[in-house]
Structure 1
């Protein structure tokens, strides 16, 4: 009996029959989970100019605020990933979202620099495991050969969140205040939680304990996992993509406003474009990867080479917009530089399922999140320091984005050499 047939048998035997409708309702809710997640992430960037004015802080201090989101991100990711499979997904994800709400709440009234840092640290801790949780739950609803598209749809939530939130929150900030923007996000979290409690749960296609017992040879020691080149390649690729994502979350609105001279409302609208492109490209790339797999193309190509080439293209685009002045071509490169990197992340995460046993998958995804979250700590601080020390903000942004483009290209080269799920599968590693 294959793993997929065994998973279907598990679903029937445990009374957890898997229907396509149920599976896609859960996928939609998990996509919503990441939509709220990324809306929470970008609010400080959107309110950056007003925050810097009201709190009387400079670009370097603003970089510290944005970096602080990631200070506890890895710890939250590791803890949350440890709890995957040990706590029911219904309660684990709902509790996580409640923590988001509690972390945002003080900023509805506070104007303290220290309170904002504490708020971002708590939010980062609570949001650290979000992607790993969502992907791990989704994988319990789909067999291994069908996971690429639902994974891409869920990751697309990372793009849809800012697409929806950026213009809405910018309008709220301009017409009301940045405090009101935080209040909107508190309400959004409170709306999602009861929906998840009503409809969300694990699926029955892959029951980690039963599958691992029946397919014992698929399990690996942690020393083997940490030497697995595909796991390391995915971690490198995700680190490079998250350097781009963290800077996009932290600095893109200010770059458009202070670096390129767009007014706040225009910058708030334009900042949604890279996220919209990300949402589209994540799904399109997932479909392309799935089609490659169905046609017998090796997983190394569909889940290693393809995302690595997308990341390299994103790096080249980032260098391109850094060297261009404000204009249409500059904006096109900004969109492709950000969106291609995000889409690459959506595909390559699926490679973890190819090389790691089901019971260990959540922990390994947590390890990968912990690795790439360090990019979130480093990159906003580095860019803030460069902008502060440069002769002009525009010159600082140019130099910072040139460095970012180089990091992305180097990351792509390393990952294309490492990721090979067919070579590094758990079965073959013994």
Structure 2
């Protein structure tokens, strides 16, 4: 039962329970809005190199393989930052930790506003990746601290939607900045945005009352989780293994979209810069809408008593599977409306399950351990971001033509997604694993 509900059942002198619950709910949604802003800037930072890629390659004389190294370098310390941030998430107040992280974003982007070389670009991207590594996990941890278990699907999905809104706004806006001024100016704009969102978070952001609870609860009717479970035992459950695999292949898709989609549209398909900037926004628009719709659908099914295996396991796994099929399909088509429809659909399906999948993880992980577990899971799936841009860069360089090279890259990506999604569909079952962990602790 949520903290708000507990307060409602036990009013204290000096005010009514409903009077105290309303401010908590309002604060929860305010913090959620700030988390969306953090995610918005976070993903705008990710997509900017892809948008600036043509200009960067021309100015610095970079090959496709070298540009792939720049894109991959973002993820070199991403896993380290994820695990470290998750560990600190249980020790450092969220207000200060996320503010420090966001300030590091701005610090890493600022040098790119001036003339830089290949080595400096790589160093800045490594720092940015390290700082952004724990962001999603910490944002989910904070969001879950404001909402009880049975209400988390929608807030989780709204946080993930910020990842789609960021590039949706950034793609056309930064394209205009790049064409009007330079690609350096785009990095300067994002550095300022990072500073602004840092101040906003310091003013209004923090963890919520659910963060003080000892154990954790799954969906309505599920038994309370133990206060702590050994990490080795948690990561031996089918849910955490399957979710890690699912996130890995889904994030490989996301990283390729962020890294190579703008260049694919321009170099592989021949769209001009302005058209490419507009088309890049379409997958993110679709993803932002889809992730919220799926979160609402999952929450509605949960309220009607549908089990977590379907709403938080099979649902995201099936969507990533379908996304892999769409990725293979659009890679085999020529430029045109059908190809763009499949490309956008692939992105929507891939992103839509993130929020409910994180809610599924929370069903199995005790509240006090969510920060470190989410950080480790993020670190694991970030490896998809390391490998995928490098593989695509190699395949583009090795292809008989640029278009064929991109086609080979998306084909390999689609097959990988299908394999990972199938494994997740077999393994993920939050209700089963939560019940096992509770029974083991009770028996012990």
TM bucket (normalised to shorter chain) is over 0.9
1:86-141 deviation digits (Å, cap 9, x = unpaired): 11111111111000000001100033000000000000000000000100001110
Q: Distance in 2 between matches of 1:35 and 1:379?
A: 23
Q: Distance in 2 between matches of 1:288 and 1:216?
A: 25
With normalisation by structure 1, the TM-score equals: 0.95
Q: Distance in 2 between matches of 1:216 and 1:278?
A: 32
Alignment-derived partner of residue 140 in structure 2: 135
Does 2:281 match 1:279?
Answer: no
Q: Distance in 1 between matches of 2:225 and 2:400?
A: 60
Aligned CA distance change for structure 1 residues 335 and 353 (closer, same or farther; 3 Å): same
Instruction: Look up the SS of the partner of 1:110 in the other structure.
Output: coil
Instruction: For residue 69 of structure 1, report the CA deviation from its aligned partner.
Output: 0.1
Instruction: For residue 251 of structure 1, report the CA deviation from its aligned partner.
Output: 0.1
With normalisation by structure 2, the TM-score equals: 0.92
Q: Distance in 2 between matches of 1:163 and 1:216?
A: 39
Does 2:365 match 1:360?
Answer: no
1:176-195 deviation digits (Å, cap 9, x = unpaired): 10000001101111111111
Instruction: For residue 400 of structure 1, report the CA deviation from its aligned partner.
Output: 0.7
Q: Which one of 157, 160, 163 corresponds to residue 155 of structure 1?
A: 160
Instruction: For residue 34 of structure 1, report the CA deviation from its aligned partner.
Output: 0.3
Aligned CA distance change for structure 1 residues 217 and 404 (closer, same or farther; 3 Å): same
Q: Distance in 1 between matches of 2:215 and 2:402?
A: 57
Alignment-derived partner of residue 186 in structure 1: 191
8 Å CA contact 2:215–2:226 kept in 1: the answer is: no
Instruction: Look up the SS of the partner of 1:324 in the other structure.
Output: coil
Instruction: For residue 8 of structure 1, report the CA deviation from its aligned partner.
Output: 5.2
Q: Which one of 202, 210, 231 corresponds to residue 205 of structure 1?
A: 210
Instruction: For residue 85 of structure 1, report the CA deviation from its aligned partner.
Output: 2.6
Gaps of 5+ in 1: none
Q: Which one of 51, 66, 69 corresponds to residue 64 of structure 1?
A: 69
Alignment-derived partner of residue 427 in structure 1: 438
Greater mean deviation of Cα atoms: 68-77 or 215-224: 215-224
8 Å CA contact 1:10–1:207 kept in 2: the answer is: no
1:388-409 deviation digits (Å, cap 9, x = unpaired): 0111100000011011111111
Does 2:186 match 1:175?
Answer: no
Q: Distance in 2 between matches of 1:216 and 1:25?
A: 28
Alignment RMSD: 2.1
Alignment-derived partner of residue 55 in structure 1: 60
1:62-98 deviation digits (Å, cap 9, x = unpaired): 0000000000000000111111131111111111100
Q: Which one of 341, 351, 355 corresponds to residue 360 of structure 2?
A: 351
Q: Distance in 2 between matches of 1:25 and 1:4?
A: 17
Instruction: For residue 210 of structure 1, report the CA deviation from its aligned partner.
Output: 7.6
Aligned CA distance change for structure 1 residues 372 and 86 (closer, same or farther; 3 Å): same
Instruction: For residue 261 of structure 1, report the CA deviation from its aligned partner.
Output: 0.4
What is the count of residue pairs matched by the alignment?
427
1:296-345 deviation digits (Å, cap 9, x = unpaired): 11100000111111111101110111000000000001101112101122
Q: Distance in 1 between matches of 2:308 and 2:73?
A: 37
Instruction: For residue 361 of structure 1, report the CA deviation from its aligned partner.
Output: 0.9
Instruction: Look up the SS of the partner of 2:210 in the other structure.
Output: coil
8 Å CA contact 2:395–2:408 kept in 1: the answer is: yes
1:48-75 deviation digits (Å, cap 9, x = unpaired): 0000000101100000000000000000
Instruction: For residue 353 of structure 1, report the CA deviation from its aligned partner.
Output: 1.1
Q: Which one of 74, 92, 96 corresponds to residue 97 of structure 2?
A: 92
Alignment-derived partner of residue 299 in structure 2: 290
The 5 A counterparts of 1:14-413 are 19-209=24-214, 217-413=226-422
Instruction: For residue 12 of structure 1, report the CA deviation from its aligned partner.
Output: 8.9
Gaps of 5+ in 2: 15-19, 218-223
